[in-house]
């Protein structure tokens, strides 16, 4: 007679296999790699591979706009579905994928918060700070940092006819955006550009942390373990000497100054948040995510767009012509053109738009969860309640049915000379999703847009750019260097910056 323990094990195996089969069939009307139907291992491998965007782009080509990537996971490049999930009145919610974005040991931040009511309240209180409504004009701070950037490049990264000095665009752009976000958020600059160094070992830490964060997003179970107080004691805290620990210490310091008997009062983002009644701990948590989301994506957008401009001589020439003509006509403020002036330069705007399309800085899944009663997709297929639906941003931005057969090509002209109004409207609609949508849309968009348009315009006006050492791998040279959001992962990006004598 079988022992009780054998029976128990057999019973558990039966329950497990039945669950596996049930799950498999619940989404079997969505095609995808076979392993994905049974296990999250497919995603774990792809998400930590460094080539996530390439794998997921192929999914769209092989399995249609919404494909299966896990037992309970879909990935979509359908703009209608992406908008539906994030719309103000949507019944979709954030999935447990977002738990992995909780950086503070005790508290969520606006990006990791999953409770709809708390998130909406939080977001509403943060919005005036992020938009610059409550702060010293964002534009003024960006301009000041840009002047520092010009000096930084001239001092440390300038080549001449006599010698080549490698300008690592990965570090230059990341140093710049980290100094911008610290200035506008806390009125206290990190000093990356001034010291020409990573004072906290922060960039190195982020490089190491990204693949791990992907695993946390995929396996929320691990996250729950990390929240156990005993385990938390083993994780980096504000006493750690480098990486996220140093960033936490920084967050604690800048926040503490705003409380107590003689609080520092500044018209920056933090000042705005304090005025909305947030607690000290809430602000420490928010400060951490601000540093992360406020630097990496914009840096990626700037460097990849500049890379695409610098490697396309005809585009570089057209952009320079537009900028030089405006400068000669006295239509550009010095030392930095104004936002209003930048908006009147159609070719510049098209370059920025095209840069974010061809190389969307955020390719992570941002998975939402289908409502308990499920949902019927635009193509008639049923999505059961609780299914995780991620967005395939690379696939969407390179979708030939929206952008045409040359969707992979960096071609700013597509935004200026499209004769078919309906097609142009569809392209604009899809590209606009690069900043998310609706109730989860990017709060930092005004700042990111200022940084992108001004930095690109001034760097093209002031310097000659020649790519010397971009890793050349097949037809997608730079994409190969990208992990998740591009980010600090696009390392060691050798570009020659030469002072343009005309300026």
Positions that interact with ligand HEM (CB under 6 A): 86, 110-111, 123, 130, 181, 290, 293-294, 297-298, 301, 361-362, 366, 434-436, 440, 442-444, 447-448
Based on CB atoms, which residue is closest to ligand HEM, 326 or 342? Answer: 342
* Minimum distance, C-beta of residue 126 to ligand HEM, in the bound complex (Å): 7
Identify which of residues 177 and 496 has a Cβ nearer to ligand HEM in the complex: 177
75: closest CA among 363, 426, 483?
A: 363
- Residue with Cβ nearer ligand HEM (244 or 396): 396
β-strands 158-159, 375-376: how paired? Answer: unpaired
Rounded distance between C-alpha atoms, residue 155 and residue 159, angstroms = 10
- Tell me the closest approach of the beta carbon of residue 233 to ligand HEM, in angstroms: 29
The DSSP letter of residue 481 is G
Cβ-based nearer residue to ligand HEM, 189 or 290: 290
Q: Label residue 64 left, alpha or beta by phi (over 0 means left) and psi (-120 to 50 means alpha).
A: left
Least distance (Å) from ligand HEM to the CB of residue 40?
20
The nearest distance, CB 286 to ligand HEM, in angstroms, is 8
* Burial status of residue 38 (CB atoms within 10 A of its CB: 0-12, 13-18, 19 or more): middle
Cα separation, 356 vs 492, whole angstroms: 21
Q: Where do we find the tokens 């994780």?
A: 235
Nearer to ligand HEM, 71 or 361 (CB): 361
Task: CB nearer to ligand HEM: give 399 or 496.
Answer: 399
Give strand pairing partners of 498: 159, 464
Minimal distance in Å, beta carbon 448 to ligand HEM?
A: 4
Nearer of residues 193 and 293 to ligand HEM, judged by Cβ = 293
The 10 Å Cβ neighbour count of residue 22 is 10
Shortest Å, Cβ 371 to ligand HEM: 17
Strand locations in 130-189, DSSP E?
A: 158-159, 167-168
Return the CA Rg of the chain. 24
Q: How far is CA 76 from the centre of its chain?
A: 18
Residues 6 or more apart from 224 whose CB is under 8 A from it?
none
The phi and psi torsions of 153 (rounded to 5 degrees) equal -65, -45
Cβ closest to ligand HEM, residue 271 vs residue 444: 444
Nearer residue to ligand HEM within complex by CB, 145 or 366? 366
Min. distance of Cβ 419 from ligand HEM in angstroms?
A: 29
Query: Which residue lies nearer to ligand HEM by CB, 159 or 210?
Result: 210
Q: Which residue is nearest to ligand HEM (CB)?
A: 444
Q: What are phi and psi of 312, to 5 degrees?
A: -125, 90
Tokens of 123: 């977001």
In terms of DSSP H, where are the helices of 187-345?
Answer: 192-195, 202-218, 220-226, 229-232, 243-256, 269-275, 280-293, 296-310, 313-328, 339-343
Shortest CB 281 distance to ligand HEM, Å: 18
Cβ 122 to ligand HEM shortest distance, Å: 8
Q: How far is CA 413 from CA 16, 56, 410, 490, in A?
A: 55, 27, 9, 27
Cis, peptide link before residue 335, omega less than 30° from 0: yes
Name the minimum Å distance from CB 271 to ligand HEM.
15
Look up residue 155 and give its two tokens.
């001092």
Of residues 67 and 181, the one with the C-beta less far from ligand HEM:
181
- For residue 197, give the 3-state DSSP assignment: coil
State in angstroms the smallest separation of the CB of 460 from ligand HEM: 18
Q: Are strands 167-168 and 494-499 parallel, antiparallel or unpaired?
A: antiparallel
């Amino acid at each position: 007679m079988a022992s009780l323990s054998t029976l128990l094990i057999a019973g558990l195996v039966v329950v497990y296999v039945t669950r596996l089969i049930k799950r498999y069939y619940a989404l079997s009307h969505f095609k995808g790699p076979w392993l994905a139907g049974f296990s999250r291992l497919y995603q774990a491998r792809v998400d930590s591979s460094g080539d996530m965007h390439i794998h997921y782009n192929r999914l769209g080509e092989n399995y249609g706009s919404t494909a299966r990537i896990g037992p309970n996971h879909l990935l979509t490049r359908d703009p209608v579905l992406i908008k539906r999930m994030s719309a103000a009145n949507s019944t979709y919610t954030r999935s447990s994928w977002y738990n992995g974005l909780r950086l503070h040991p005790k508290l969520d931040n606006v990006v990791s918060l999953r409770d709809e009511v708390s998130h909406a309240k939080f977001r509403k209180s943060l919005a005036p700070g992020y938009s610059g409504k409550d702060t010293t004009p964002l534009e003024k701070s960006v301009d000041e940092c840009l002047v520092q950037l010009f000096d930084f490049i001239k001092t440390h990264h300038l080549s001449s006819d006599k010698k080549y000095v490698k300008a690592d665009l990965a570090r230059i752009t990341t140093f710049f955006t980290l100094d911008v976000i610290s200035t506008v958020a806390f009125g206290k600059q990190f000093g990356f550009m001034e010291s020409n160094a990573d004072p906290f070992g922060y960039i190195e830490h982020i490089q190491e942390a990204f693949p791990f964060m992907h695993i946390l997003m995929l396996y929320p179970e691990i996250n729950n373990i990390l929240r156990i107080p005993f385990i938390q004691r083993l994780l980096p805290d504000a006493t750690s000497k480098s990486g996220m620990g140093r960033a936490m210490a920084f967050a604690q310091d800048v926040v503490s100054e705003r409380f107590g008997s003689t609080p520092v009062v500044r018209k920056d983002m933090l000042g705005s948040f304090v005025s909305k009644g947030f607690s000290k701990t809430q602000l420490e948590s928010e400060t951490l995510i601000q540093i992360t989301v406020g630097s990496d994506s914009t840096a990626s957008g700037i460097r990849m767009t500049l890379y695409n401009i610098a490697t396309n001589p005809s585009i570089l020439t057209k952009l320079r012509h537009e900028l030089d003509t405006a400068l000669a006509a006295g239509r550009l403020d010095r030392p930095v053109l104004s936002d209003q002036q930048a908006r009147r330069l159609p070719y510049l705007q098209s370059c920025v738009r095209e840069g974010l399309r061809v190389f969307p800085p955020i390719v992570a899944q941002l998975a939402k969860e289908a409502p308990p009663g499920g949902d019927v997709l635009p193509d008639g297929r049923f999505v059961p309640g609780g299914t995780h639906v991620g967005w395939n941003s690379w696939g969407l931005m390179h979708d030939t049915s929206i952008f045409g057969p040359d969707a992979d090509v960096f071609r700013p002209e597509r935004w200026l000379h499209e004769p078919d109004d309906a097609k142009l409207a569809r392209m604009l609609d899809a590209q606009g999703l690069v900043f998310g949508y609706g109730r989860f849309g990017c709060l930092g968009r005004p700042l990111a847009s200022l940084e992108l348009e001004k930095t690109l315009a001034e760097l093209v006006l002031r310097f000659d750019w020649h790519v010397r050492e971009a890793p050349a791998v097949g037809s997608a040279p730079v994409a190969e260097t990208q992990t998740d959001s591009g980010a600090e992962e696009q390392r060691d990006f050798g570009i020659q910056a030469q002072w343009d004598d005309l300026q």
